[in-house]
Structure 1
Amino acid sequence: MSDSPRFLNVDVDVRCGAGGLPLLNHLRNRSVLLCEEDGGFSFEAIEQHDDVEGCVAALVALVQGLPTSLLTAWNACEDRIFDVGFEAPSGKHSVMVELLPSTVRAISDVGAKLRVTIYQTRSQP
């Protein structure tokens, strides 16, 4: 494994209570639903990309393409978080991840927060 973190994926975590049901139902056929919990859900793009920018662009396009009523529901949600996942190199005490300003801006433009999750490398048995 290299000394750089390995990009895994981007998912979107949404918390919006019962008012988000129409939004969830719309996204169910246009994304990969990862989990559905009381008051919230997580999804990722159907088409995966090998880089952060491609994944974020696909998810931002999905949000920007929502019908007006569902865009209103999206904006009313308590939390809209783009969660960018990386796997840390084995044995590293700390790692750094850089995101392009355009990527951060695209997330902000759809009213979402950015979270970066660094996963510890799994040990091989």
Structure 2
Amino acid sequence: MISIPEGVPLDAPRILSKAPRRSALSCSRHRHLSLPKIADHATWRIYVHTSDDIRLARKLMRKIEVQHKDPLVSLRNYLLSGRDRHAEHVSPSRHRADLVLDGTMPTADLLNAVDHLVGAQLPPTP
């Protein structure tokens, strides 16, 4: 399973093609690190930290540009409960991560950091 935060692509097929079958990457966007059944079985636990304003802006951009949806629903949900749920469930899971990344870093830097964590445990590419 691979979950990556908004706006952060990951070369999942390349990494997973070298990873053991039961390996998993888990990131903060989908709360996987806050779910012990998943986090405890993940080979690598990665938390991508992004400030509230950037996380909300990326979500709204995705709603508008990719999903062609009205961003007003997302804004209302964020104000009613989204921010509080993130603070209660997702943010505390940061301490379970093997690697904490800055979600504002360039994609190449993020991939390099993941490669350092994952690559050290993977067999060399043929």
The answer, yes or no, to whether TM exceeds 0.5 is no
Q: What is the TM-score when the length of structure 2 is the normalising length?
A: 0.29
Q: Which has the higher strand share?
A: 1
